[in-house]
Amino acid sequence: MSHSTTAPPKRKAGAWAVKAVAVVLAFIGIVLLGGGVYLILLGGSWYYAVAGALLLASGVFLFRMDRTGVLIYAVTWAITLAWTVWEIQFDWWAWVPRMVAPTVLLVLVLLCLPALGARRSAPNQVA
């Protein structure tokens, strides 16, 4: 993973931005995973633990500058959308906590794509 150090300055800045997003995702993922497991133990919804695990994975991949992270986040977002519709249908106020923040994150993650552009996923890169 020493490529970034040899990258041109512009790319380097982009990489730092991606890593920042990755750290945020991973942090949120850890909190959601921990709290979500507790919620499951209390008899509650499985969504948060699942979403937390996926966010964490997404963060890890992104930190490695791996586009798989984007894919995982996109899947998480889609799951969130499906779950929202399933749980509360189209009560729009109830969509706010479920969809607004994940969608903001989706935009950030998609903005990472250019910075990740040169490299597909890490294994491809190696190949």
**Please, is 8 exposed, middle or buried when counting C-beta atoms within 10 Å of its C-beta (0-12, 13-18, 19+)?**
exposed
48 binds other proteins (CB under 8 A): yes
* CB 121 to other proteins: min, Å: 27
Site string for other proteins, 13-42 (x = CB under 8 A): ---------------x--xx--xx-xx--x
# chain residues binding other proteins, by CB under 8 A: 25
Which two tokens mark 93? 């106020």
The answer to whether residues 73 and 99 touch, using CB atoms and an 8 Å cutoff, is: no
Beta strands in 32-121 (DSSP E): none
Which residues of the chain form contacts with other proteins (CB under 8 A)?
28, 31-32, 35-36, 38-39, 42-45, 48, 51, 80, 87-88, 91, 93-94, 96-98, 100-102
